[in-house]
């Protein structure tokens, strides 16, 4: 098999392997509109995919509404951890979502249609929330912090077979370091 045939076979496999957007969030086309733009323009009927961090989950008699601080979406449609917000929005769905599971601080991505503007108090400020009728609400799994531990376990002060080895470059307090004479 020559190189060109190998590349032609492996390229589709590699490209599909990099597709990490959940299937629920791939359905349809979306308008490139931010919540800030929707506050100031009449964009009712536009289908959008927005995401962010939940501020409040309000289950009602016939619907559940989420107040969300919007963040830009990454390549996987997950909200990015950034200080650049694009405002807030309300997402309401006719289904019941438990406020304990969909709690403050969790990340969600919502697909829905803009229904208009809802004005609510945000502190003492009258804030104009773009409200969308959500057809898909995707709750992202919580990320656990990565553990940067030692490469081998510590046992009551014994640091392994490399205790006196000057090339052992692990320091338990500061991580990897140069050998002590540098």
Judged by DSSP in three states, 81 sits in coil
Confidence (pLDDT) at 134: 92
β-pair partners for 134:
112
- Take residue 129 and report the two structure tokens written for it: 């929330």
Distances (CA, A) of 174 to 59, 150, 155: 47, 10, 19
Ordered structural domains, the chain, with CATH: 21-139 (2.40.50.140), 149-182 (no CATH)
How sure is the predictor about 49, in pLDDT bands with cuts at 50, 70 and 90?
A: very high
User: pLDDT digit string (tens) for 69-107?
Assistant: 999 988 888 898 888 888 999 999 999 999 999 999 999
d(CA 150, CA 104): 34
Judged by DSSP in three states, 146 sits in coil
- Asked whether the CA dihedral 6, 9, 10, 15 is positive or negative, the reply is positive
How sure is the predictor about 130, in pLDDT bands with cuts at 50, 70 and 90?
A: very high
Mean pLDDT of all residues in the chain? 78
Confidence (pLDDT) at 146: 64
């Amino acid at each position: 098999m020559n190189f060109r045939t190998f590349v032609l076979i492996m390229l589709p496999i590699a490209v599909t392997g990099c597709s990490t957007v959940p299937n629920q969030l791939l359905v349809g086309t979306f308008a490139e509109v931010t919540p800030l733009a929707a506050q100031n323009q009449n964009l009712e009927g536009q289908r959008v995919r927005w995401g962010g961090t939940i501020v409040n989950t309000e289950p009602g008699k016939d619907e559940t509404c989420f107040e969300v601080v919007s963040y830009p979406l990454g390549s996987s449609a997950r909200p990015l951890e950034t200080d650049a917000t694009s405002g807030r929005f309300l997402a309401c769905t006719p289904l019941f979502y438990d406020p304990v599971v969909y709690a403050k601080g969790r990340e969600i991505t919502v697909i829905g249609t803009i229904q208009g503007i809802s004005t609510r108090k945000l502190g003492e400020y009258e804030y104009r929330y773009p409200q969308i009728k959500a057809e898909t609400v995707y709750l992202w799994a919580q990320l656990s912090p990565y553990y940067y531990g030692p490469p081998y376990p510590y046992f009551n002060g014994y640091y392994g077979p490399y205790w006196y080895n000057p090339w052992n470059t692990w320091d338990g307090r500061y991580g990897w370091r140069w050998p002590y004479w540098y």
